[in-house]
Amino acid sequence: MQKIIDPWGSELVEDYVKIVKDFGLEKFNTKLFPNPSRLMRRHTVFAGRDLDIIAKCIKDKKPFYVLTGIMPSADKIHFGNKMVIEQVKYFQEHGAKTYVLVADLEAAATRGITLEEAQKRAMEFHIPAWIALGLDPKKTTFYFQSENKDVMHLAYKYAKKITLNEFRAIYGVADPSRIFAALTQAGDILYPQLKERMPGIVPVGIDQDPHLRLTRDIVRRTKAEKFFLPAGIYHKFTPSLSGKMKMSKSHPQSCVELPEDFSSVKKKIMRAVTGGRETLELHRKLGAEVEKCMVFELLKTHLVEDDKELEKIYKAYKSGKMSSGEIKQIACEKMELFLTTFTKDLKKAQKDVKKLKFIKFG
């Protein structure tokens, strides 16, 4: 049976090549975009849909948008979420009009928290965290799903465009709250085009592709609106430090949370699965199994910006000159620096958040 990757699961995807094929995605080409980001250069970003349209907008300085939604269901985020923010930031810096919505309705429908609670968490934590991680609030349009009537109207209209069987084929399940959430998400993704028809891109973890497929199907069926099909750009999951599943709130013991005290993250790094051999002697002789090392993965995907620096670490580790103790040490130093900066920037953003402009409706 083919495994369905759904937006609600927490499994790791082993075979990204197969996914590209099965989902009919375009393989990501690092040369497509100018000044590719760390995630693009390191092949963490591995696939997309309609990427050349967005690349052309960047090249010709034509209008396009980047959009994403924050689901404020927990009171923390983690390193997996950080990638979405970095991707949004990349497109924002390359000329995209930026939309960030708070999925308060979705949180209420699928996680059972109240709208007020969801909004409060978003204002006190999620939005400031996004700003601390690099989103420019002055260049971003924010809204709450629950306040955006246009999105609701789109969702209602789109409800007529799909059948239960199609929904099941895309998501594997079809319960009412998920149907509501998915249609609302389609409304979110297309909402910027109500004002100005233009291409848009939605950076997401591969698990969110079903939402894009659904939205693209809907656009094809509502030709009258003449919307552009939303483009998608996908990154791989960040594995947990045990290497067994993706980082997620449900396995805090091997997931780097934000915020989290350095002392607690340090313990997790110390316990992480590495590429070290059984004895130091063997390690020196055979070199590390870098592919299996979750600490190297952390450096590669999140903590080392400079390609040359990463390559140096890779070579030393692979050849056995660097031990897994040493690579953990490097990761700890970089992590401490990262967390200190994040905490400082978060505090500042928490003060500034009151000044943000949200779209007001009605």
| Site residues, ligand TRP (CB under 6 A) | 67-69, 71, 101, 103, 106, 185, 188-189, 202, 204
Residue closer to ligand TRP (CB basis): 214 or 331: 214
Residue closer to ligand TRP (CB basis): 215 or 274: 215
Alpha carbon distance 169, 10 (integer Å): 19
Q: How far is the CB of 189 from ligand TRP (least distance, A)?
A: 5
Q: How far is the CB of 290 from ligand TRP (least distance, A)?
A: 31
State the DSSP H helix or E strand holding residue 81, giving kind and residue range, or none if neither: helix 79-93
Residue closer to ligand TRP (CB basis): 281 or 361: 361
Alpha carbon distance 135, 59 (integer Å): 22
Q: How far is the CB of 145 from ligand TRP (least distance, A)?
A: 7
**Amino acid in the structure at residue 274:** T
> Which class for 326: exposed (0-12), middle (13-18), buried (19 or more C-beta within 10 A)?
middle
Residue closer to ligand TRP (CB basis): 65 or 317: 65
Q: Are strands 231-235 and 200-205 parallel, antiparallel or unpaired?
A: parallel
Alpha carbon distance 120, 187 (integer Å): 23
Q: How far is the CB of 166 from ligand TRP (least distance, A)?
A: 19
Phi, psi of 266 (to 5 degrees): -55, -45
Residue closer to ligand TRP (CB basis): 178 or 268: 178
Q: How far is the CB of 184 from ligand TRP (least distance, A)?
A: 7
Q: How far is the CB of 110 from ligand TRP (least distance, A)?
A: 8
Phi, psi of 220 (to 5 degrees): -60, -30
**Residue whose beta carbon is closest to ligand TRP:** 69
User: 205 forms bridges with which residues in the sheet?
Assistant: 235
Residue closer to ligand TRP (CB basis): 189 or 231: 189
Alpha carbon distance 303, 133 (integer Å): 13
Q: Which residues contact 264 (CB under 8 A, 6 or more apart)?
A: none
Residue closer to ligand TRP (CB basis): 207 or 297: 207
Residue 230 · residue 279 · CB < 8 Å:
no
Q: How far is the CB of 202 from ligand TRP (least distance, A)?
A: 5
Cα 312 to Cα 138, 141, 144, 318, 334: the distances in Å are 38, 41, 45, 10, 16
The shares of helix, strand and coil residues in the chain, as percent rounded to the nearest 5, are 55, 10, 35
Residue closer to ligand TRP (CB basis): 101 or 349: 101
Q: How far is the CB of 159 from ligand TRP (least distance, A)?
A: 16
